[in-house]
Amino acid sequence: MIGWLRGVVLARGTDGEVLLDVGGVGYRVTVPTTTVVSMPEAGAEMSLHVHTHVREDAIVLYGFATADQRRSFEALLAAHGVGPSLALAIVSTLSAEDLARAVMAEDLGTLCAVPGVGRKTAARLVLDLRSKLELPEIALSATPSAEARREPRSEVRAALAELGYGPDEIRRALDTSPADGEVEEMLRAALRELAGAR
């Protein structure tokens, strides 16, 4: 099993794949979109925490910038009905900490912002992941007041997803919208930001 790779980037694809030269051997590694965005140019060195996924017809390497991201991916794979494609979409949209917070707060809106995740899948993820995401420091910080502050943002996130906006657009809109306030007011601000960006 390959758990970690460090080498020189030979090529980076727009499809989420990187070709990494490790000691003269080229490894094709599938990575989250967040890693693609921050990846160095060809010729630069990089390292990846790797999950080796073995299927009947192929061995696929999935690479992650941090060990926490890889652990989240592996926890998702252990959840009922989650395959590598959906797990990769989730870690591409949510950081390891955001995923753990959403699960602990039963924040279905945040989970539903991931393409391919509906409310039933989100509810099942909450049940399946509670025991698999072992991040006690996040549990301690998830106070009721923090959850209450996140709830309006979660509703806005879910509403934007239902309107057809992608994860990157939603993240950008929420970053520039007020952190607190009424859902309707926050949604209007997010929509204004998205309209201006287009």
Q: What is the pLDDT of residue 139?
A: 43
pLDDT digit string, tens, across residues 108-156? 888 998 888 888 888 889 888 877 775 544 443 444 444 444 467 777 7
Are both 51 and 39 inside the same structural domain? yes
Higher-scoring residue by pLDDT: 103, 161: 103
Q: What is the pLDDT of residue 143?
A: 41
Model pTM? 0.66
Are both 130 and 166 inside the same structural domain? no
Q: How many domains, the chain? A: 3
Average pLDDT over residues 47-65: 92
Average pLDDT over residues 96-115: 88
Are both 46 and 76 inside the same structural domain? no
Q: What is the CATH number of the domain that holds 18?
A: 2.40.50.140
Are both 138 and 84 inside the same structural domain? yes
Are both 93 and 135 inside the same structural domain? yes
Q: What is the CATH number of the domain that holds 191?
A: 1.10.8
Q: What is the mean pLDDT of the chain?
A: 81
Are both 17 and 61 inside the same structural domain? yes
Domain final residue pick, 142, 161, 185: 142
Domain that holds residue 112: 67-142
Question: What distance in Å separates the CA atoms of residue 163 and residue 168, rounded to the nearest whole number?
Answer: 14
Percent of the chain at pLDDT > 90 equals 29
Are both 53 and 76 inside the same structural domain? no
Helix axes 144-162, 167-176, angle to 10 degrees: 130
Domain final residue pick, 142, 161, 180: 142
Q: What is the pLDDT of residue 7?
A: 93
Average pLDDT over residues 7-35: 89
- Going by pLDDT thresholds of 50, 70 and 90, the confidence category of residue 8 is very high
